[in-house]
Amino acid sequence: MRPKEFVADDHEIDPARVDSDALHILRKLKDAGHTAYLVGGSVRDLLVQREPKDFDISTSARPQEIKKIFRRNCFLIGKRFRLAHIRFGKKIIEVSTFRSGENDSDLIVRDNTWGSEEEDVIRRDFTINGLFYDPFEHKVIDYVGGWEDIHKRVLRSIGDPLVRFKQDPVRMLRLIKFRARFGFDIDEQTKQALITSRKEITKSSPARILEEMLRMLESGAAARFFNLMVQARMLHLLFPMLSDILENEDENQIYDLLQVADQINQQQPKSPLSRPILTACLLFPLVDQALKKKFIDKDKVPHLGDVMMTTSSVIKEFVLTSFSHLPKKLSTVASAIIAMQYRLTPLSGKQSIRHKSLSMKEFPDALHFLKMRAALDPELLKPFKAWNNAWRQHLKKGVQQKHHHPPPAKKG
Ligand code: ATP
Ligand code: MG
């Protein structure tokens, strides 16, 4: 099939926004006689005037040929999905060879059958993610109707959505992610397929689901994402304890905290809040609710030991009932942030600055989380300021002490 092509006059992509290292790779591949384009998320983001996160490249060059061109800066990775990572210092740009998917089979088994550039895009998930861009010719190349869908703001599966969701159920989560992020509508056939196939989500890999969820927490559209997951009746299949709370939208502490997190992450998309803090936005309300039920509603004030026990039992239950298990380290740090909230703002109401807390490893994250809670509850501003001052003093003292004690002389 001949693709539609759109030249500079048709679109508003500013070639200066393309990463210079990506341009360098494209240039070298072309000079060596290969076809090479930007593809996927970066083309989509350039067209909707957003800053692309990464610049993936698709090319006719085979992995070994890519390796020959970029030598020491090129690492071939992945067995099933062989692709090249080209390194520029800390930055990595992904270069993959055009390949064909197996669009009619049920589950994808082998991904390494090389293909044409057309085959390379029709194996992708949604039309908006299926465009190529050639920055030297200022040309967008469209085999899948992605151009029109981006301009009409529509999310549409490439191929039959029922088949595509069955092949890889994570695509359903990605659909909701793009809806949350861009506010695009979902095409009717794709929407019906989501309703029909939603239960298939539990056939996907828990690690991939967790990664998509964590990325969504960082995205600046987390509150909308979780809301859409509830509406699509998918959240309870993955995280039933969250959906129990989130189904009730009024006075919902999770949505409120996520909105605060979204605001922060929208302002600093390149350095989002840490994953433990973001996880605490989901879990702190669960712990708080449990403490209320167990103690406050019975006119009892829990002491710190009770808080620790409740925190760890709620998180244990969360881990046991969830489809994806949180990595140990993430749940440990998130628990510490949550438990420490009750040191910083004791339920007894008796506020005192205890210096032991300041030297705990998780204190800075816990303080940051308290600041987020204070954005929702002005009563927490006072304790936040007190702790923030104590923390500054503590840091100053640390610096002074360092200066008073010269480092030990090197041996030998
Ligand atoms: P983000 O902006 O969140 O990175 P993205 O669309 O760039 O979104 P990536 O995971 O970086 O997502 O994937 C890059 C590209 O690979 C996508 O744009 C899409 O073309 C393709 N892709 C990713 N996941 C799938 C999938 N599950 N099925 C088919 N194609 C996919
Ligand atoms: Mg991407």
- Phi first, then psi, for residue 150 (nearest 5°) are -60, -45
Name the region of 204 (left: φ>0; alpha: ψ -120 to 50; beta: rest): beta
**CA distances in angstroms from 363 to 66, 176, 179, 237, 344, listed in the order given:** 47, 34, 36, 34, 10
Topology at the third CATH level for domain 1-152: Beta Polymerase; domain 2 (3.30.460)
**CA distances in angstroms from 76 to 95, 96, 178, 298, 373, listed in the order given:** 10, 10, 30, 61, 45
Q: Which atom of ligand 1 is nearest to the CA of 42?
A: 7
1 DSSP 8-state letter: -
**CA distances in angstroms from 386 to 13, 351, 380, listed in the order given:** 49, 10, 10
Indicate which residue's Cα is closest to atom 10 of ligand 1. Answer: 41
Which helix H or strand E contains 142, and what residues bound it?
Answer: strand 139-142
Q: According to the model, what pLDDT value does residue 365 have?
A: 97
**CA distances in angstroms from 73 to 109, 274, 365, listed in the order given:** 30, 30, 36
Cβ pair 167, 105 in contact under 8 A: yes
State pLDDT tens for residues 51-78: 898 999 999 999 999 999 999 999 999 9
200 CA from centroid of ligand 2 (Å): 24
320 CA from centroid of ligand 2 (Å): 31
Q: Which atom of ligand 1 is nearest to the CA of 101?
A: 29
**Chain position carrying tokens 């909707």:** 48
Pairwise CA distance, residues 329 & 198, whole Å: 30
Indicate which residue's Cα is closest to atom 30 of ligand 1. Answer: 124
106 CA from centroid of ligand 2 (Å): 25
Structure tokens at 288: 């708080």
Number of H helices, E strands in the chain: 19, 10
Residues at CB less than 6 angstroms from ligand 1: 40-41, 53, 56, 124-125, 129, 168, 170-171
- Ligand nearest, relative to CA of residue 103: 1
The helix/strand/coil state of 141 is strand
Q: Which atom of ligand 1 is nearest to the CA of 121?
A: 20
Topology at the third CATH level for domain 253-399: cca-adding enzyme, domain 2 (1.10.3090)
167 CA from centroid of ligand 1 (Å): 15
167 CA from centroid of ligand 2 (Å): 20
Q: Which atom of ligand 1 is nearest to the CA of 219?
A: 3
Pairing state of beta strands 139-142 and 131-134? antiparallel
- Ligand nearest, relative to CA of residue 225: 1
- Ligand nearest, relative to CA of residue 124: 1
40 CA from centroid of ligand 1 (Å): 7
Q: How many CB atoms lie within 10 A of CB 157?
A: 23
- Ligand nearest, relative to CA of residue 178: 1
Q: What is the DSSP string of 21-69?
A: HHHHHHHHHHHTT--EEEETHHHHHHHTT---S---EEESS-HHHHHHH
Instruction: Report the candidate in 167, 163, 131 with the shortest Cα–Cα distance to residue 149.
Output: 131
Cβ pair 190, 155 in contact under 8 A: yes
Pairwise CA distance, residues 158 & 3, whole Å: 15
If one residue of 105, 108, 129, 182 were mutated to test the ligand 1 pocket, choosing by the most ligand atoms within 8 A of its CB, it would be 129
- Ligand nearest, relative to CA of residue 41: 1
Pairwise CA distance, residues 85 & 157, whole Å: 28
321 CA from centroid of ligand 1 (Å): 28
Q: According to the model, what pLDDT value does residue 412 have?
A: 41
Cβ pair 255, 223 in contact under 8 A: yes
Neighbouring-strand partners of residue 114? 99
Neighbouring-strand partners of residue 76? 84
41 CA from centroid of ligand 2 (Å): 5
User: 337 CB contacts (<8 Å, ≥6 apart)?
Assistant: 276, 277, 280, 284, 362, 365, 366, 369
Question: What are the extents of the domains in the chain?
Answer: 1-152, 253-399
Indicate which residue's Cα is closest to atom 25 of ligand 1. Answer: 125
Pairing state of beta strands 83-88 and 154-155? unpaired
Q: What is the DSSP string of 76-110?
A: EE-SSS-EEEEEETTEEEEEEE-B---TTSSS---
User: 285 CB contacts (<8 Å, ≥6 apart)?
Assistant: 245, 252, 253, 254, 257
Per-residue pLDDT tens listing for the chain (412 residues): 899 999 888 878 888 899 999 999 999 999 999 999 999 999 999 999 998 989 999 999 999 999 999 999 999 999 878 899 999 999 999 999 999 986 555 555 555 588 999 999 999 999 999 999 999 999 999 999 999 999 999 999 999 999 999 999 999 999 999 999 999 999 999 999 999 999 999 999 999 999 999 999 999 999 999 999 999 999 999 999 999 999 987 779 999 999 999 999 999 988 999 999 999 999 999 999 999 999 999 999 898 899 999 999 999 999 999 999 999 999 999 999 999 999 999 887 777 777 788 989 999 999 999 999 999 999 999 999 999 999 999 998 877 776 665 555 554 4
Indicate which residue's Cα is closest to atom 15 of ligand 1. Answer: 40
Indicate which residue's Cα is closest to atom 7 of ligand 1. Answer: 41
133 CA from centroid of ligand 2 (Å): 15
Q: Which atom of ligand 1 is nearest to the CA of 215?
A: 3
